[in-house]
Amino acid sequence: MLLPYLLEQDSWRLEGMAHLSWPTIGAVGYIAYLSTLLGFAVWSWLLSHYAAATVAPFTLLVPVFGFTSSTLALGEPLYPWKLAAAILIIAGLCINLAGARIAMRLRPA
């Protein structure tokens, strides 16, 4: 809390808190409680059923879901470089998860 206090002096004024709207409070509540609790619940369930080495690469999908949901919910533009990045991430995950099996099938006996 010390670093934001030092770097963002203007945002710590109480006058700024007086103009909070219900949608803002709802958004903060959603992010702080619902999405965090749901995210940790799903993550814990996955780690209890699968090896950490299998589950951990899926954290790379967080930005993909982030910019996809911002495009769908907020109408933000989806630039071609974002699509290329998403394709690279998903291709990397596919290679990571299925690459060894595919390589074993392609090797001559």
- Write out pLDDT tens, residues 76-87: 999 999 999 999
The answer to pTM > 0.85 is no
Q: Give the list of residues 6+ apart from residue 63 with CB closer than 8 angstroms, or none.
A: 85, 89
pLDDT of residue 106: 84
- 26-42 burial, b if ≥16 CB within 10 A, otherwise e? eeeeeeeeeeeeeeeee
- Write out pLDDT tens, residues 17-73: 777 888 888 888 888 888 889 888 999 999 999 999 888 888 899 999 989 988 998
Burial of residue 93, with CB atoms counted within 10 A of its CB: 0-12 exposed, 13-18 middle, 19 or more buried: middle
pLDDT of 1 strictly over 80: no
pLDDT of residue 84: 96
Q: Give the list of residues 6+ apart from residue 55 with CB closer than 8 angstroms, or none.
A: 43, 46, 47
89 CA to centre of own chain? 13
